[in-house]
Amino acid sequence: MEFNRKNAIISFLEERAEQKFTPYDIAKWLVANYPEEAERKATTSKNKQIIKARTLEEKIKEVTKAYAAEISRGRFDEWRSKPNIKIDSEPRVSLYYTKNPSHLINDEEVTNLKNKVNKDNSITEEKAYEILKSYLDVLGIHNMRINHTFPSNKHGVGEIYGYILTG
């Protein structure tokens, strides 16, 4: 059976749920646990850095860097379709496996929300502007109506109020 790096990484993340790993950490784990695969990549790779490396140790270091680059570059876009695998990009790229994916929405919750919102609860544009005006007054921001009949309005019709800070 052929080695599948993506499945190996997913199983690694599943075993260590809720722990965050950088792509380099995952690459080091791959090289440590699958040395024959790392050696095969070192001998058959067309990567210039791997080819330039003289000893097998240097080649393995370069393979680790190549694995980390592939992971951080997002070679495995299928991860994004897996709901339990999260990718954080702040402050550094890190991947982790979560047992409770928070971004999944229950269908019952959506239908309950749709039932709660009806046309009687909707707010008109005029009411929204009045609420916005009172909120801005509390913050000390003076708002002025923009006259759209003048051609000097460079921002188009979409801009209704201009805001001026006072205080």
- Return the percentage of the chain with pLDDT > 70, whole number: 56
Residue 150 to residue 144: CA distance in whole angstroms: 15
Q: Residue 79: what pLDDT? A: 63
What residues make up the domain containing 84? 5-97
- Residue 150 included in any domain: yes
- Residue 49 included in any domain: yes
pTM above 0.85?
Answer: no
Do both 72 and 143 map to the same domain?
A: no
Do both 13 and 82 map to the same domain?
A: yes
- Residue 134 included in any domain: yes
Residue 85: its H or E element = strand 85-88
Rounded mean pLDDT of the chain? 71
Q: Quick one: residue 74, left, alpha or beta (phi over 0 = left, psi -120 to 50 = alpha)?
A: left
Indicate which CATH number applies to the domain containing 56.
Answer: 1.10.10
Q: Which long-range contacts (CB under 8 A, 24 or more apart) does 127-132 make?
A: 129/160, 129/161, 132/161
Question: Domain total for the chain?
Answer: 2
Q: Residue 81: what pLDDT? A: 63
What SS3 class is residue 72?
Answer: helix
**Better-scored residue on pLDDT, 145 or 103:** 145
Query: Which residues, including other chains, have CB under 8 Å from residue 53's CB and lie 6 or more apart?
Result: 42, 59, 61, 62
Do both 10 and 44 map to the same domain?
A: yes
- Residue 111 included in any domain: no
Q: Residue 167: what pLDDT? A: 45
Q: Residue 147: what pLDDT? A: 57
Least confident of 7-11, 50-54, 100-104, 133-137: 100-104
| Residue 66: pLDDT over 70 | yes
- Residue 20 included in any domain: yes
- Residue 72 included in any domain: yes
Nearest CA to 76 among 85, 64, 63? 85
| Residue 29: pLDDT over 80 | yes
- Residue 116 included in any domain: no
pLDDT in tens, 105-152: 555 555 555 555 555 567 777 777 788 888 777 777 776 665 555 555
- Residue 112 included in any domain: no
